[in-house]
Amino acid sequence: MGVKMNKAVVTGANGFVGSHVCKELADSNTKIYAVIKDENENIDSIKDLQGISIVYCDLDNIESLSEKITDNDIDVFYHFAWVGSAGNLRCDENIQLKNALWTAQALRTADKMGCKKFVNAGSIMEKETYTAVYTQGSTPGLPYIYGAGKLIAHAICKPIANSLNIDLCWAVITNAYGAGEFSPRFVNTTIRKIIAGEPLQFTAATQNYDFIYIDDVAKAFVAIGEYGKANKEYTIGSGNARPLKEFIIEMQQSLAPDAKPIFGDVPFTGVNMPLEAFDTTDIQTDCHFKPSISFAKGTKLTMDWIKTVN
Q: How far apart are CA 282 and CA 279, in angstroms?
A: 8
Which residues on adjacent β-strands are paired with residue 56? Answer: 36
124-141 as b/e: b if 16+ CB within 10 A: bbbbbbbbbeeeeeeebe
Dihedral (Cα; 241, 244, 245, 249), 10-degree rounding = 70
State the pLDDT at residue 213: 98
The stretch 70-76 carries a mean pLDDT of 94
182-216 as b/e: b if 16+ CB within 10 A: eeeebbbebbeebeeeeebebbebeebbbbbbbbb
State the pLDDT at residue 33: 98
Closest CA to 220 of 236, 231, 233, 238: 236
State the pLDDT at residue 132: 93
Please provide the average confidence, as pLDDT, over all residues in the chain.
95
State the pLDDT at residue 266: 73
User: What digits encode the pLDDT tens for the residues 115-145?
Assistant: 999 999 999 999 999 999 999 998 999 999 9
List, in order of start, the domains of the chain with CATH numbers.
Answer: 7-177+211-239+274-292 (3.40.50.720)
pLDDT at 1 over 70: no
| CA dihedral for 31, 37, 38, 39, sign (positive or negative) | negative
State the pLDDT at residue 270: 75
Number of H helices, E strands in the chain: 10, 13
State the pLDDT at residue 236: 98
CB 106 within 8 A of CB 119: no
Closest CA to 226 of 167, 185, 149: 167
Q: What angle do CA 28, 29, 30 make, to 5 degrees?
A: 95
User: What digits encode the pLDDT tens for the residues 144-183?
Assistant: 999 999 999 999 999 999 999 999 999 999 999 999 998 8
